[in-house]
Amino acid sequence: MDTGVYRIIDANLNRVMEAVRVCEDIVRFSSDNEILTRKLKDLRHDIFTAIKDLRKEHLEELVSSRDVCEDVGVKSSESEKTREDLVDLFLANTQRGKESLRVLEEVLKLFERDLSQQFKKFRFKLYEIEKKAIKEMEDTLGVKPKVRL
């Protein structure tokens, strides 16, 4: 398999796990919502479980394909450097997670079609969790989300 494919999988798997964890902690500690916290934790564990065999089989290639020092996209954009509040932070991370799930869904079509479809389901789970969590945070924190493009 092409090194670029390994880099894409590795980067997006790390990105989605990080994003979902940030969302999980925001919901857990800002609204104390046990149900939404559990849904995010379960999603994070389901993603890890789904990719575990692929990671085990290709761990060396995934890790050795990392090139943080030479990664042309490693710099943050100005919009990534600030967040207005916890809702904004949550929305930034759900967006990050959804995008990474979509990338994994697409790249996995090249060689793991069933796994690709699992990532599509994960993406739609995150859409639903996001919707419920935004409502919860509006009620708990009294903050209306701004439209994020």
Confidence of residue 149 (pLDDT cuts 50, 70, 90): very low
Average the pLDDT over each of 27-31, 34-38, 79-83, 105-109 and give the range with the smallest value.
79-83
Ordered by start, the domain boundaries in the chain are: 3-66+79-141
Total residues belonging to the chain = 149
Torsion of CA 105, 106, 107, 111, to 10 degrees: 80
pTM equals 0.82
HEC letters along the chain: CCHHHHHHHHHHHHHHHHHHHHHHHHHHHHHCCHHHHHHHHHHHHHHHHHHHHHHHHHHHHHHHCCCHHHCCCCCCCHHHCCCCCHHHHHHHHHHHHHHHHHHHHHHHCCCCHHHHHHHHHHHHHHHHHHHHHHHHHHHHHCCCCCCCC
Instruction: Tell me the pLDDT tens digit for each residue of 44-101.
Output: 999 999 987 776 666 567 666 666 656 656 666 666 667 778 889 999 999 999 999 9
Amino acid 62: pLDDT: 60
